[in-house]
Amino acid sequence: EAGVAQSPRYKIIEKRQSVAFWCNPISGHATLYWYQQILGQGPKLLIQFQNNGVVDDSQLPKDRFSAERLKGVDSTLKIQPAKLEDSAVYLCASRPWRDTEAFFGQGTRLTVV
Amino acid sequence: KQEVTQIPAALSVPEGENLVLNCSFTDSAIYNLQWFRQDPGKGLTSLLLIQSSQREQTSGRLNASLDKSSGRSTLYIAASQPGDSATYLCAPQMYSGGGADGLTFGKGTHLIIQP
């Protein structure tokens, strides 16, 4: 069974530029999450999708971050404009439904200079 | 708001030892708790999922216990090996209404197994 796929693996941008990350969850998984992991910290939830609808974006900095999940499958997370403090690993995870195991992708490491 | 604490923050032991990693959480109204390992520069690998109705879950040399009422979980690693070196993260899952059920993470325990 293929895992959660993310791209790119690494990205370096200058502050005030924009960047986008892509995630392809495990086939059939209705729930998709984006997490931000700053160095030395545990992952922090940014947004949760159920199929193609947002169910939790309470911790998403909406002035600069946006995310979408078209057709309830792939998802993209965008940052515009980026700040230095956005340097982190962005992780995508999916699960079939509530109470089941969540699976994570390899993450995208973003460096903002 | 759920808060997760993991003790110790770091641990270094010789190969072959049995060890226990501790996780505590502030809100006991959880559905399940998942343990992960994270290797440097990698994503999270799921180790065990323990449901709120369960007391223990085992996978190979790993055993996770859950005491939901006291807000505690432990991960027991038997006969540790150098390949077990990684950061271990626990994450309780809560249902917050409206379908929101994201995992909450602590900072993890950084484990080094000395050959």
The per-residue DSSP string of B25-87 comes to ES----SEEEEEEE-TT--EEEEEEEETT-SEEEETTEEEEEETTTTEEEEEE-S--GGG-EE
Task: Judge whether A85 is closer than 8 Å to chain B, CB to CB.
Answer: no
Six-digit token string for A73:
């499958």
Least confident window among A3-12, B45-54, B96-105: B96-105
Q: Residue B99 above 80 pLDDT?
A: no
Of all residues in chain B, the one with the smallest CA distance to A32 is B102
User: Does B41 touch chain A if contact means CB atoms closer than 8 Å?
Assistant: yes
Low-confidence residues in chain A, pLDDT < 50: none
* pLDDT score, position A1: 63
Mean pLDDT of B13-36: 95
* Region of residue A80 (left: phi > 0; alpha: psi -120 to 50; beta: else): beta
Å between A110 CA and nearest CA of chain B: 12
Q: Rounded to whole angstroms, what are the CA distances from A86 to A6, A70, A90?
A: 18, 24, 10
> CB neighbours (10 Å) of residue A68?
13
Using a 10 angstrom Cβ sphere, with 0-12 exposed, 13-18 middle and 19 or more buried, the burial of residue A2 is exposed
Q: Is B32 on the interface with A (CB under 8 A)?
A: yes
pLDDT given for residue A71 in this prediction: 85
Task: Please tell me whether the peptide bond between B8 and the residue prior to it is cis, using omega within 30 degrees of 0.
Answer: yes
% chain B with pLDDT above 90: 88
Average pLDDT of the segment spanning B78-105: 91
41-60 of A, contacting B, C-beta below 8 A? 41-45, 48, 50, 55-56, 58
Tell me how far apart the alpha carbons of residues A82 and A72 are, in angstroms, rounded to a whole number: 26
pLDDT for B94 = 86
Place of tokens 């994570």: A104
Q: Report phi then psi at A86, rounded to 5.
A: -80, -5
Please give the Cα distance from A37 to A61 (Å, whole number). Answer: 15
pLDDT of residue B48: 96
pLDDT value, residue B100: 81
**Chain A CB contacts of B96 below 8 Å:** 56
Least CB-CB distance to B49: which of A4, A98, A101?
Answer: A101
Rounded Cα gap, residues A67 and B88, in angstroms? 28
Is the confidence at residue B74, as pLDDT, over 70? yes
Q: Is the confidence at residue B23, as pLDDT, over 70?
A: yes
**How far is Cα B14 from Cα A52, in angstroms, rounded to an integer?**
48
Q: Are strands B109-114 and B44-51 parallel, antiparallel or unpaired?
A: unpaired
Has residue B59 got a pLDDT over 90? yes
What is the distance between the alpha carbons of residues B39 and B84, in angstroms, rounded to a whole number?
A: 9
pLDDT of residue A52: 85
Q: Which of A8, A74, A104 lies closest to B39, judged by CA?
A: A104
